[in-house]
């Protein structure tokens, strides 16, 4: 009798642990996704869309650029788009996320007559968040996962909380303001699923679908597009076939994305490496990740019980027990992201070879780990739910576990929905546009003849001051804060600025904006308090510097994007400007002027090419000489991407425009095109003879980039028709639901 009892118990345990194909009905999936969708809109309509500016570090920058793109579109201007990260100053088509700005700019331009841009922007955030679970569910079904596993996977972006605040959890947009990544998040796993069908299952038509989906993701957010490409490469490694088709697909994707690559080559020709910046997000990535993995905080940051980490462990055991290519891929992808954290972005092979890769802080690698981890957690969660239902069925002596599984999943969805309601209320936050902030914006709107400076030392380093304040002030980003060799004085990219009167003059700064902080005298030398709006104080000077200046440029600094050159310019630009001299910035030694080169990180001074180096004192005496003063009369007219000056000179000189140089800038003198030279610290100038002149600087994207963008867009739309037919021809088990 005892043996029979033990035997029965053993048989029941084997039944509990046995593999089975039980699943949940479509109506339960539809209910769960609909509830999540409703919660987003319920909370959004009540407390977010009409409440104020979206909270998050970058959201103010995103909104400012969308509004600027919309303004240009309404004016019929499509040749001067600037990169959305306005504090970097790259043109839009060399940015890593061009498509969201073009689309949202067009939407704002069409609706601005009856809908405020801020409300359109906030509504788009709600819509994107609400669509992510549905898109992830479809992606999981595209991977041929069961409905229960697919639903678990779809819930990962909602409930995952990671310490980097970058990846998949709902706080991504509100915590970091990563708006364009939120655009890419619905598509990211679908591209992975397309590669799975293309390279592992060899589904008919999947190659074309993969090409379109991946190229679209690259245009939305090419960093996530790059990571999705790594995921496709891992499928190829696991399959070890389909090389010809894979290479063809990658070539077509590159062609459909060529408009960005061409622009990047222009950008890369003159920009200093962003990796020169000393920022804490560039260090300690691997050790921090290991630490949080061990502590259970990688998936469950600041959560009292790390239930996702527990499910991750169960999922790993499931993978080791029942290995498939997809399960091995998820585990390898997770480990690959972990290995990537061992290498610094700027110094690695990828950092030197991949466009903008040097910008990627360590935390961005974790999105690879989080996607692989989300799949592993989904397998662990579905396995645990099935076994729980099986155990319940055995204890209640019920044949079959369908009813039990539905009851358990329904109850779990109910509990998660309540948690999601609380989480969403905490997540969707806004920054209030106070009366003091609005009054400051109105004051600055009436002072368009000079830049104002927002800076961390003034308590105004947030994007809310750097980007949203200019937006309310109706000021172009180019005419707000100082722009140096790193193109701005934001908290990330401060490079050439020493808070001296010469620096303020060089960058045409006449106003300093502080918040709840008294600026020390040495930081505001020559400035006095002009106006106070509550805790916001505006300091100013009476002297008008202007966006133009007259200098000489009779020597050059070579290899100016190197670390040594950047540090040298940081130390000596103010001294050069004191002599009314700014050096030409070149990559190689010029033939027609003295120059400063760098050997082993040390400056070497030459009077001409192929000559012996001389010491710095001799160079300064022969080249800089005494302080020169030009008699010049300048009348200027400032626009968004166009600056005009009427100049009268008593001697030949260079006319400097105090805006960051880029190959897209062009100039005319008395209506005739002329070459634009990059001069220190990263401004631009044209040479002028004595006399009266009309000079115009203007920016436009190069013709090749614009033509390629149009061709790529047309090609993508043409390929879309057969791709839609291919999608209709692809059948999943019992459809997506």
Specify the pLDDT at position 538: 96
Return the structure tokens found at 493.
């990219």
Specify the pLDDT at position 231: 94
How many CA atoms, within 13 angstroms, populate the side-chain half-sphere of residue 730? Answer: 24
Specify the pLDDT at position 17: 53
pTM of the predicted model as reported, rounded to 2 decimal places: 0.88
Segment holding 11, helix H or strand E = helix 2-17
362-395 and 222-239 helices cross at what angle (nearest 10)?
Answer: 60
User: Among residues 429, 413, 403, 428, which one has the least CA distance to residue 381?
Assistant: 413
Contacts of 691 by beta carbon, 8 Å cutoff, 6+ apart = 648, 649
Give counts: helices (H), strands (E), the chain: 27, 19
DSSP for residue 42: H
Burial environment of residue 483 by CB neighbours within 10 A (0 to 12, 13 to 18, 19 or more): buried
Segment holding 333, helix H or strand E = helix 325-340
Contacts of 728 by beta carbon, 8 Å cutoff, 6+ apart = none
> Cα 89–474–669 angle (5° rounding)?
55
Mean pLDDT per segment of 10 residues, for the chain of length 737 residues?
48 53 86 93 90 87 86 82 50 75 93 92 94 96 94 93 78 79 94 95 92 94 90 90 92 90 70 46 69 90 90 94 91 90 61 54 82 96 87 67 78 87 86 92 90 86 84 78 46 62 89 91 91 95 91 91 82 89 91 91 90 90 81 83 89 90 88 93 90 91 84 91 78 51
Domains belonging to the chain, first-starting first, are: 13-427 (no CATH), 435-540 (no CATH), 553-624 (no CATH), 632-699 (2.60.420.10)
Specify the pLDDT at position 361: 66
573, 505 contact by CB (below 8 A): no
Strand partners, 573: none
Segment holding 511, helix H or strand E = strand 509-515
Return the structure tokens found at 643.
């600056």
d(CA 17, CA 9): 12
Specify the pLDDT at position 279: 45
Torsion 84-90-92-98 (CA) sign = negative
> Cα 135–185–353 angle (5° rounding)?
140
Specify the pLDDT at position 47: 86
Specify the pLDDT at position 104: 94
Specify the pLDDT at position 714: 93
- Size of the chain in residues: 737
Contacts of 709 by beta carbon, 8 Å cutoff, 6+ apart = 93, 259
Torsion 14-17-19-23 (CA) sign = positive
307-321 and 362-395 helices cross at what angle (nearest 10)?
Answer: 80
Return the structure tokens found at 277.
């910046």
220, 167 contact by CB (below 8 A): no
Contacts of 321 by beta carbon, 8 Å cutoff, 6+ apart = none
Return the structure tokens found at 246.
């894979």
**What distance, in Å, lies between the first and last C-alpha atoms of the chain?**
48
Backbone angles phi, psi at 27, to 5 degrees: -65, -30
How many CA atoms, within 13 angstroms, populate the side-chain half-sphere of residue 309? Answer: 17
99, 259 contact by CB (below 8 A): no
Bond preceding residue 681 cis, omega within 30 of 0: yes
């Amino acid at each position: 009798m005892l043996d029979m009892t033990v035997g029965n118990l053993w048989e029941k345990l084997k039944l509990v642990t046995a593999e089975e194909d039980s699943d949940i009905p479509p109506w339960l999936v539809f209910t769960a996704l609909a509830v999540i969708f409703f919660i987003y809109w319920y909370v959004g309509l009540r407390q977010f869309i009409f409440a104020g500016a979206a909270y998050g570090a970058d959201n103010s920058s995103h909104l400012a650029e969308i509004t600027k793109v919309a303004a240009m579109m309404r004016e019929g201007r499509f040749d001067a788009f600037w990169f959305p990260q306005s504090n970097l100053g790259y043109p839009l088509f060399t940015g890593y996320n061009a498509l969201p700005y073009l689309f949202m700019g067009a939407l704002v331009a069409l609706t601005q007559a009856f809908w405020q841009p801020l409300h359109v922007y906030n509504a788009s955030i709600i819509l994107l968040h609400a669509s992510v679970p549905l898109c992830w569910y479809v992606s999981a079904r595209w991977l041929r996962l069961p409905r229960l596993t697919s639903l678990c996977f779809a819930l990962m972006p909602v409930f995952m909380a990671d310490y980097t605040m970058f990846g998949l959890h709902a706080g991504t947009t509100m915590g970091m303001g990563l708006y364009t990544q939120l655009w890419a998040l619905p598509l990211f796993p679908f591209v992975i699923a397309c590669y799975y069908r293309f390279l592992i299952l060899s589904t008919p038509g999947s190659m074309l679908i993969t090409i379109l989906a991946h190229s679209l993701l690259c245009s939305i957010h090419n960093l996530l597009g790059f990571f999705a490409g790594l995921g496709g490469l891992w499928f190829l490694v696991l399959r070890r076939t389909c090389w010809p088709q894979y290479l063809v697909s990658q070539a077509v994707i590159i062609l459909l994305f060529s408009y960005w690559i061409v622009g990047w080559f222009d950008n890369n020709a003159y920009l200093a490496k962003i990796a020169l910046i000393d920022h804490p997000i560039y260090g300690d990535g691997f050790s921090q990740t290991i630490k949080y993995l061990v502590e259970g905080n990688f998936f469950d940051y600041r959560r009292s019980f790390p239930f996702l980490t527990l499910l991750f462990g169960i999922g790993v055991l499931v993978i080791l027990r029942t290995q498939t290519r997809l399960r091995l891929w998820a585990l390898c992808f997770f480990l690959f992201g972990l290995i990537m954290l061992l290498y610094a972005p700027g110094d690695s092979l990828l950092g030197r070879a991949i466009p903008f890769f040097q910008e990627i802080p360590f935390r961005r690698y974790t999105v690879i780990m989080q996607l692989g981890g989300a799949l592993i957690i989904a397998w662990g969660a579905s396995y645990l739910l099935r076994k729980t239902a099986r155990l319940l069925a055995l204890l209640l002596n019920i044949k079959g576990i369908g009813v039990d599984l539905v009851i358990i999943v329904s109850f779990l969805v109910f509990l998660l929905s309540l948690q999601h309601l609380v989480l969403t209320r905490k997540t969707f936050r806004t920054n209030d546009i106070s009366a003091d902030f609005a009054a400051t914006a109105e004051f600055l709107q009436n002072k368009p003849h000079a830049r104002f400076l927002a800076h961390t030392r003034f308590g105004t380093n947030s994007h809310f001051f750097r980007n949203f304040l200019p937006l309310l002030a109706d000021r172009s980003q180019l005419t707000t804060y100082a722009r140096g060799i790193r193109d701005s004085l934001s908290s990330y990219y401060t490079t050439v600025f020493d808070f001296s009167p010469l620096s303020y003059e060089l960058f045409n700064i006449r106003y300093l904006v502080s918040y709840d902080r008294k600026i020390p005298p040495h930081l505001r030398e020559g400035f006095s308090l002009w106006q106070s709006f509550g805790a916001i104080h505006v300091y100013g000077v009476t002297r008008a510097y202007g966006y133009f200046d007259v200098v000489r440029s009779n020597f050059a600094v070579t290899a100016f994007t190197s670390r040594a050159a950047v540090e040298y310019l940081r130390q000596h630009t103010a001294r050069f400007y004191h002599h009314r001299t700014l050096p030409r910035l070149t990559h190689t030694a010029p033939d027609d002027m003295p120059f400063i080169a760098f050997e082993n990180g040390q400056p070497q001074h030459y009077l001409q090419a192929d000559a012996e180096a001389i010491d710095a004192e001799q160079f300064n005496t022969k080249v800089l000489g005494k302080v020169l003063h030009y008699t010049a009369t300048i009348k200027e007219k400032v626009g968004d991407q166009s600056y005009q000056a009427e100049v009268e000179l008593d001697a030949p000189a260079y006319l400097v425009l105090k805006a960051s140089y880029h190959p897209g800038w062009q100039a005319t003198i008395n209506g005739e095109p002329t070459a634009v030279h990059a001069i220190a610290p990263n401004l631009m100038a044209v040479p002028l003879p004595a006399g009266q002149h009309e000079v115009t600087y203007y920016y436009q994207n190069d013709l090749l980039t614009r033509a390629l963008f149009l061709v790529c867009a047309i090609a993508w739309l043409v390929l879309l028709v057969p791709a839609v037919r291919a999608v209709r021809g692809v059948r999943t088990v019992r459809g997506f639901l």
